[in-house]
A and B are shown apart, each in its own frame.
Chain A
């Protein structure tokens, strides 16, 4: 009997526990995936990240790390090729799996995770909104990588970040093409990218509805002024500012083609990218925090400090907060896997995990004391790296705006 099966005289629930479906566990297949990532992380990712941090510059595109990365078969597009010709690579990873992998990757080095060759940030947009011809043209070379290749997505401008509706890079129709003018900043991998998906506006006074995304190839005249920014952390990948000066692209480079653009689709193009990315950034923050926790614990043990209740308190707080942040993150991913709305949960995971990651590295720094002041301890690097998790893909404040719109209908 399913419910309320009766014991004489009174009704009682009669639910054997093993029939409950809730499961906080991770299955064997996923654990194997994670073990693989851990191995690569230890051997490849951590050393590459430390090298870049020491040099204070991104790894050059011809670095052995990247060559080995693509030799392992990584960095390929998820696109199946023209008319789905490519052999189906098997079941796609679930979002929950991807998030666990994003956490494990960031544990070893978050900067390297972004530096890795591949389509990266714009892939979801192109797969979701691009025409078949655009997929062929722009994803085709990522089906099998002959050399490390990158692509990137450019939204942020010197004058508009959080308020993405206020970007001013202008797209003007010119015969059968488009002329782009403007400036973008902090764009990951831009100067080494084969193409940049540039977010622009037809009319800056018309807000979101007037925004469009354009493929801009590296060799396009007018695309220039690349400046690789000097950053506090995450030095392993380049964050680049650049200019679009009467940069002409053909009509075929408008993402989704002309037809797609009625209503607010243009802006949604960009927001889709951000939405899908939030739990990933959250998972990254958990990974960075977890690395700090392990380092802090190792330090405390090596210096015989675990007998000190205050030290134990710090370790305890770090572990607890990180565990919580991870669960928030997996919850957002789990909803995505069930194709349920996860707007609030995704923003919550990001807002919380970024904060927790910062706290964990801070506690780590406090625990190692003057050793942290030297500037060569892993925790010190993690402390610098993690800050960006509260900035990219929507700051903590922006996440809270999104959540409050839902919780209390905060007006825009």
Chain B
């Protein structure tokens, strides 16, 4: 029955991740952005606590956790630095097409070697073909991706409409500035005659992989939005104008309230969708809606976070401009806002007669 208590074990995971994020990531926020990466010691700590293979099967050296754990961990990491969260995770969303279309065997074969490679950090990257242009010729791929949040790509997983591809060679990267998430790196990616090393087909698998990918992005967004809310609220209580803390002018008090409400609501949608994935219920529409709602929340919270700091918010001495950019950047992928709405809307319109918004089972 409806219960939001994460239980002792999940709470401990969240707590541990939060301490790590606050101690290792927050202080190095700008540093990581400039360095386009995280320091080896931070990476070591991340691997030490077992966050690198969070959703990987235990047999493959992962922690074998599910979507709910993923969204909670992502929120904690991204509340400190969403770019670093991407940089630290060797696998990220690339897991989902392999797991959903190829199963454990594919996960093992293609991702197993990325875990625990202590020396260099390899990166698997997922590209949704909705965000790119590709031509498939026989068993080779040509195409372009305007942006991937990485400076190296060791394994590229491409998610199409009813199939997924794995590519490792023929990948050319051009370093670009990146609008946000620079701690993860940023590249324009080109494939020229890249051999397709594996190809999996399943329209249902793609839908599920896309749902999990969207939740991955949405939960990072939630973390960024939380940081923006918390930072701007604290500032509003300190800063005075017209004889009182700016937070005590109703226009700002209500804005802060609306920001918090938007965040809380979106977070519940994200967590519910993740719970549905773990429980094995259909979750495509719910995950798409959760992503859409989180993006909508970010349209309010990102710019408002800056607004609350006024001119200071515009300056890079404060992190709110970074939160605004990163929230926007995280909203661009997997087809973005419109595709999420379209997917959810289509599923609703072809679904049952009465949208009872049934609780759990359907």
Task: Tell whether, in the assembled complex, residue A24 and residue B272 are in contact, meaning their CB atoms are under 8 Å apart.
Answer: yes
Choose from A31, A316, A326 the contact partner of B344 (Cβ within 8 Å).
Answer: A316
- State how many angstroms separate the Cβ of A17 from the closest Cβ of chain B: 4
B355 beta carbon closer than 8 Å to chain A:
yes
Q: A20-B10, A313-B341 are in contact. Are A11 and B292 (CB under 8 A)?
A: no
Task: Tell whether, in the assembled complex, residue B257 and residue A320 are in contact, meaning their CB atoms are under 8 Å apart.
Answer: no
Choose from A11, A334, A400 the contact partner of B49 (Cβ within 8 Å).
Answer: A11
Once the chains are docked, how many angstroms separate the CA of A31 from the CA of B264?
26
Task: Tell whether, in the assembled complex, residue B345 and residue A410 are in contact, meaning their CB atoms are under 8 Å apart.
Answer: no
Task: Tell whether, in the assembled complex, residue B236 and residue A408 are in contact, meaning their CB atoms are under 8 Å apart.
Answer: yes
**Stretch binding the partner chain, chosen from B23-31, B65-73, B163-171:** B65-73
Choose from B50, B261, B268 the contact partner of A13 (Cβ within 8 Å).
Answer: B50
B84 beta carbon closer than 8 Å to chain A:
no
Once the chains are docked, how many angstroms separate the CA of A298 from the CA of B236?
47
Choose from A11, A298, A321, A407 the contact partner of B233 (Cβ within 8 Å).
Answer: A407
Q: How many A-B residue pairs have CB under 8 A?
A: 217
Task: Tell whether, in the assembled complex, residue B348 and residue A319 are in contact, meaning their CB atoms are under 8 Å apart.
Answer: yes
Q: Please indicate the chain B residues that have their CB under 8 angstroms from the CB of A300 in the complex.
A: 349
Task: Tell whether, in the assembled complex, residue B1 and residue A315 are in contact, meaning their CB atoms are under 8 Å apart.
Answer: no
Task: Tell whether, in the assembled complex, residue A411 and residue B248 are in contact, meaning their CB atoms are under 8 Å apart.
Answer: yes
Once the chains are docked, how many angstroms separate the CA of A17 from the CA of B345?
30
Task: Tell whether, in the assembled complex, residue B233 and residue A25 are in contact, meaning their CB atoms are under 8 Å apart.
Answer: no
Q: Please indicate the chain A residues that have their CB under 8 angstroms from the CB of B293 in the complex.
A: 320-321, 324
Count chain B residues whose beta carbon lies closer than 8 angstroms to a beta carbon of A: 75
B354 beta carbon closer than 8 Å to chain A:
yes
A19 beta carbon closer than 8 Å to chain B:
yes
B253 beta carbon closer than 8 Å to chain A:
yes
A244 beta carbon closer than 8 Å to chain B:
no
- State how many angstroms separate the Cβ of B16 from the closest Cβ of chain A: 8
Shortest Cβ distance from B67 into A: residue: A17
Interfacial residues of chain A within 59-112, with CB under 8 A of chain B in the complex: 96, 100
Task: Tell whether, in the assembled complex, residue B1 and residue A96 are in contact, meaning their CB atoms are under 8 Å apart.
Answer: yes
Q: Please indicate the chain B residues that have their CB under 8 angstroms from the CB of A407 in the complex.
A: 233, 253, 256-257, 260
User: DSSP majority for the B interface?
Assistant: helix
Task: Tell whether, in the assembled complex, residue A12 and residue B345 are in contact, meaning their CB atoms are under 8 Å apart.
Answer: no
**Stretch binding the partner chain, chosen from B33-41, B106-114, B203-211, B273-281:** B273-281
A114 beta carbon closer than 8 Å to chain B:
no
Once the chains are docked, how many angstroms separate the CA of A394 from the CA of B357?
27
A303 beta carbon closer than 8 Å to chain B:
no
Task: Tell whether, in the assembled complex, residue B265 and residue A25 are in contact, meaning their CB atoms are under 8 Å apart.
Answer: no
Task: Tell whether, in the assembled complex, residue A315 and residue B348 are in contact, meaning their CB atoms are under 8 Å apart.
Answer: yes
Interfacial residues of chain A within 309-349, with CB under 8 A of chain B in the complex: 309, 311-313, 315-317, 319-328, 330-331, 334, 348
Once the chains are docked, how many angstroms separate the CA of A328 from the CA of B69?
21
**Mind listing 27 A-B residue pairs with CB under 8 Å?**
A11-B48, A11-B49, A13-B49, A15-B10, A15-B65, A17-B65, A17-B278, A21-B10, A22-B275, A24-B271, A25-B361, A26-B1, A96-B2, A297-B349, A297-B353, A309-B342, A316-B341, A319-B285, A319-B289, A319-B355, A321-B293, A322-B357, A324-B269, A325-B265, A331-B4, A400-B257, A408-B245
Q: Other than A17-B69, A31-B359, A301-B353, give 10 A-B pairs with Cβ distance below 8 A.
A: A4-B49, A21-B10, A290-B355, A298-B353, A313-B345, A323-B286, A327-B272, A331-B4, A348-B261, A404-B247
